[in-house]
Chain A
Amino acid sequence: MYTKKVMDAFANPMNAGNIEDANGVGQVGNASCGDIMKIYLKIENDVIADAKFETFGCAAAIASSDTAVGMIIGKSVEFAKNLTNAQVVEELEGLPPQKIHCSVLAEEAISEAIKDYEAKK
């Protein structure tokens, strides 16, 4: 039911973990709905110098966070702000319909982290 890309990102995530001196952190979801995503951003000169995720959730949730984070590293804050869940789904070569919300959570978690960064600035 999952694409090879999803399975790869889930089994060997490149961007799992946290960033101790992150200057933007965003968390969305809750345990009762089965997904929590936390995104850590290290932003320097309006560029995402580093990003990591921690996710409680299914394989699609882990793959979505890993992929979304991978897509914004090295990119401008503006780019990260405009990242949509559809782009994440495309990068994963598709998600089952009932798992699309996982990609939405990834988009939302990144947007929360940027808001946190901007509030602190």
Chain B
Amino acid sequence: MEKIYLDHAATTYVKEEVFEKMKPYFTEIFGNPSSLHSYGQTASYAVAEARNTVAKILNCLPTEVYFTSCGTESDNWAIRGIAKKKGKGHIITSIVEHPAVIETCQELEKNGFTVTYLPVDKLGMISVEELKNAIQEDTILISIMFANNEVGTIQPIEEIAKIAKEKKIPFHTDAVQAMGAVRIDVKEMGIDMLSLSAHKFYGPKGVGVLYVRNGLGLGKFITGGEQERGMRAGTTTTHQVVGLATALELAYENLEEKNVRMVEMRDYLIKNILKKIPYTTLNGHTTKRLPNNVNISYEFIEGEGILLLLDMDGIAVSTGSACSSGSLKSSRVLLSMGVEEGLAHGSIRMTLGERNSIDQMDYVVTKLANSVAKLRKMSPLYQD
């Protein structure tokens, strides 16, 4: 049976070229980059090169790039770092953020910080006007994701950054889903802090970056040695950062060309699902959307059943609906977009990758139609 992986927003495979680049740093160039001998030096050159690569792609200085263990750590550092520095105050974020941001803000609320969670419209967009109105005298941070992980909606980052700059409020963006899919120039866009994670763009799991604009004065996050200029202690994982940089470089090679193909595949899949399966609705924006994201609600049924039946056909997808994630509430993101609860429960996210093809999409739609029909036949809500 052909296996089709359509869950690239959850994680990607590591590209062969990336893996090859990483290998020597496990076995040959294994020295601790902090060591003075040649083992260490060779490793430290590789780390420096990786940092330069990331800096070049983000258009920042290498000294503004901090390697972390993942996107969640980067988000935690950015938000908690500003909170610690200011001691008190008000944070603006959105209701559709990743739990790494939402949960962190909720923790800070317990410690006396106040937080505004901006709502979104039915396409998943925050309103720049509402953001402006939410700013208070004591606002210490604005943190808005670049693109949403469930529905792929891309936020007006430049406008947000502009407002933040005018008001002299640090602006952080969780770009974990956008990185590798959208060109991001932190200087041009006016971003003060940005989180990214390698395993979303064909790099290894367990390594991320926090970009911090020089002069922002974000405090240290992990105390210990002098790694990451003393800001984030812990032995530098040479193979991981080399993997991250290699993957990032590859992701931005011919990006526009790859995106044309990805968007074509995405729109083909959306069009065919909506046409061939009745009672379906697209969630999210039609154009301001990540090139690989398809999120559709299937009326009268629950997403988990679709996921499991498709898996039996070799197709891996994800559900934003709750049942699979352990909590029983439906997707916070979809509900905040005004999607009815029943439809939010029946949503399936498919996120495409470079190995997918248009031909596979036809197979996916056929199998999906069968699974949906099978579950609808069992549903008390559905009448033929």
Q: With A27-B380, A31-B341, A34-B302 in contact, do A10 and B321 touch (Cβ < 8 Å)? A: no
B380 contacts across to A, CB distance below 8 A? 27, 36-38, 54-56
Q: Number of B interface residues at 8 Å Cβ cutoff, please give it.
A: 24
The closest CB in chain B to the CB of A33 belongs to B328
**Contact between A34 and B321 (Cβ–Cβ < 8 Å)?**
yes
Does A11 belong to the interface (CB within 8 Å)? yes
B326 contacts across to A, CB distance below 8 A? 98
**Contact between B304 and A58 (Cβ–Cβ < 8 Å)?**
yes
Complex CA gap A51/B243 in Å reads 57
Complex CA gap A33/B322 in Å reads 10
Q: What's the nearest-Cβ distance from chain A to residue B320, in Å? A: 12
Contact digits for B306-338, partner A, Cβ 8 Å, 1 yes 0 no: 001100100000000111101110100000000
**Contact between A56 and B302 (Cβ–Cβ < 8 Å)?**
yes
Q: With A16-B377, A55-B378, A55-B379 in contact, do A11 and B304 touch (Cβ < 8 Å)? A: no
A56 contacts across to B, CB distance below 8 A? 300-302, 379-381
A59 contacts across to B, CB distance below 8 A? 304-305, 308
**Contact between B378 and A34 (Cβ–Cβ < 8 Å)?**
no
The closest CB in chain A to the CB of B303 belongs to A58
Q: What's the nearest-Cβ distance from chain A to residue B376, in Å? A: 9
Does B89 belong to the interface (CB within 8 Å)? no
Candidate in B309, B312, B321, B342 with the most chain A CB atoms within 10 angstroms: B342
Does A45 belong to the interface (CB within 8 Å)? no
Does B172 belong to the interface (CB within 8 Å)? no
Main secondary structure of the interface of B (DSSP, over half): helix
Complex CA gap A59/B321 in Å reads 13
Complex CA gap A107/B206 in Å reads 44
**Contact between A54 and B328 (Cβ–Cβ < 8 Å)?**
no
Contact partner, A10, options B301, B305, B324, B328, Cβ 8 Å = B305
A99 contacts across to B, CB distance below 8 A? 323
Q: What's the nearest-Cβ distance from chain B to residue A33, in Å? A: 7
A10 contacts across to B, CB distance below 8 A? 305, 308
Candidate in B300, B302, B330 with the most chain A CB atoms within 10 angstroms: B302
Contact digits for B368-384, partner A, Cβ 8 Å, 1 yes 0 no: 00000000011111000
Candidate in A33, A36, A58, A59 with the most chain B CB atoms within 10 angstroms: A58
Extra inter-chain contacts (8) besides given A10-B305, A56-B301, A60-B323, CB under 8 Å: A10-B308, A16-B377, A34-B321, A54-B380, A55-B379, A56-B379, A58-B305, A98-B327
> Taking beta carbons and an 8 Å cutoff, which residues of B are in contact with A?
300-302, 304-305, 308-309, 312, 321-324, 326-328, 330, 341-342, 345, 377-381
Can you pick out 25 interface pairs between chain A and chain B where the beta carbons lie within 8 Å of each other?
Answer: A11-B308, A17-B377, A17-B378, A31-B341, A31-B345, A31-B381, A32-B342, A34-B302, A34-B322, A34-B323, A34-B328, A36-B380, A38-B380, A53-B378, A55-B379, A56-B300, A56-B301, A56-B379, A57-B302, A57-B305, A58-B302, A58-B324, A59-B305, A98-B326, A98-B327
